[in-house]
Amino acid sequence: MPIETASGQAQCPECFADITLSTVMQNEITQCPGCGAELEIIALEPLTLALAPQEEEDWGE
Ligand SMILES: [Zn+2]
């Protein structure tokens, strides 16, 4: 499975700030510098962010 990374700007879904990302991978978690929300990179092309799930930290599998 190839490891793909992307760099560029994406918009925070919470506060709509432009966030600059460099060499991020899909499903990586980043934090918005504007509102502090935890964001998950859900797509690389185009770079798309979604709020990361903050509840259920314990994934009991
Ligand atoms: Zn934000």
CA of 61 to the centre of ligand 1 (A): 31
Question: What's the pLDDT at 3?
Answer: 78
Q: pTM (2 decimals)?
A: 0.80
Question: What's the pLDDT at 58?
Answer: 73
Fold of 8-51: Rubrerythrin, domain 2 (2.20.28)
Question: What's the pLDDT at 31?
Answer: 96
Question: What's the pLDDT at 49?
Answer: 97
pLDDT at 56 over 90: no
Token reading at 16: 């709509």
The residues spanned by each domain of the chain are 8-51
**Ligand 1 (single-atom ion) residues, CB below 5 Å:** 12, 14-15, 17, 32, 34-35, 37
Query: What confidence tens digit (pLDDT) does each residue in 14-41 have?
Result: 999 999 999 999 999 999 999 999 999 9
